[in-house]
Amino acid sequence: MKTRKLTISAMFIAIGVLAGNLIYIPVGASKCFPIQHTLNILAAVLLGPAYGVVNAFCISLLRNFMGTGSLLAFPGSMVGALLAGYIYKLTKNNYLTAVAEVFGTGVLGGLLAVPIAIFTMGKAVGALAYVPAFLLSSFGGSIVAVLLLQSAYFVKTVSKTS
């Protein structure tokens, strides 16, 4: 089971780094990646909260190394993945997991991005500067994840891996 989870995790990280860089929304100093939020929810459902957070961290780190990400990716993606993972673990509900991802990334991650922008990037921003952009990105990615989780083929494939 651990090998299967590691393989799925590696696949999600590869998708997040490669495909995630193709679709993004530039908003000020942040780059919003809806695919990241799709992967956060899929990781929450398939792998659990710990794998989800590690995946989000690895994707953010690799994007930063490649010069295609920003430091703001860390709080947004990791908080959303953590909250989505725990909500799924408690409820086994895909919709609540998506709401948790949107809240974790959009609100909590958006608020945590402010001190990072101020202290490490030298950006003077207000307290809610990143919340709208993070909400938009996580909402779009969450819709895609819920649609994937509801598709018959995806559910059949997932049930084989669980």
Asked if residue 160 has pLDDT above 70, the reply is no
Confidence of residue 11 (pLDDT cuts 50, 70, 90): very high
Please give the pLDDT value at position 70. 78
Q: Is the model's pTM score more than 0.75?
A: yes
Share of the chain above pLDDT 90, in %: 47
Q: Which domains, and CATH codes, for the chain? A: 2-21+29-161 (1.10.1760.20)
Q: How many CB atoms lie within 10 A of CB 108?
A: 18
Confidence band (pLDDT; 50, 70, 90) for 6?
very high
Give the model's pLDDT for residue 58.
Answer: 96
Kindly give, in sequence order, each residue whose CB lies less than 8 Å from that of residue 58, ignoring residues fewer than 6 positions away. 13
- The tokens describing 136, both together, are 């938009």
Name the H helices within the chain: 2-18, 34-46, 49-66, 73-91, 94-102, 110-119, 131-150, 152-161
Q: Is the pLDDT of residue 77 over 60?
A: yes
Q: For 48-68, what is the mean pLDDT?
A: 92
- The Cα 103–Cα 84 span in angstroms is 9
pLDDT score of 154: 61
Predicted confidence (pLDDT) per residue in 106-152, tens digit: 899 888 888 887 777 776 666 677 788 888 888 988 999 999 998 85
d(CA 113, CA 45) in angstroms, rounded, equals: 26
Q: What is the DSSP string of 133-149?
A: HHHHHHHHHHHHHHHHH
CB 35 within 8 A of CB 20: yes
